[in-house]
Amino acid sequence: MAKATLNLTAGKEAVKEPWLWRLARDFEVQVNLVKANVDTDFGWVQIVLEGPVEEIQRATAWLMTTGLHVEAQERALGA
């Protein structure tokens, strides 16, 4: 299993979308919410994705198409 820590920043339109739910539903990754601050017009979250490397890469690539600002903080490969 691999892990990736991501910081996501959302503007007014992206805040309204259920992108964490879609991550958990559409990709074979475990989504762990580390910390967040979300309001009606701006938000940021720090999440850890855990799963196969290919799925983390697919999930991260999808996040980049959602209008979120995506910043990878840490990546770790597991056994």
pLDDT at 71: 94
Structure-token pair, residue 28: 């074979």
Structure-token pair, residue 23: 């991550």
pLDDT score of 62 more than 90: yes
pLDDT score of 39 more than 90: yes
CB 73 within 8 A of CB 5: yes
C-alpha 7/C-alpha 33 separation (Å) is 10
* CATH number of the domain located at residue range(s) 2-77 in this protein: 3.30.70.260
pLDDT at 78: 62
- Please, which residues have CB within 8 angstroms of residue 18's CB and are 6 or more apart in sequence? none
- Give the tens place of pLDDT for each residue, 1-33: 899 999 999 998 888 889 999 999 999 999 999
Residue ranges covered by each domain of the chain: 2-77
- What global pTM score does this model have? 0.87
pLDDT at 75: 75
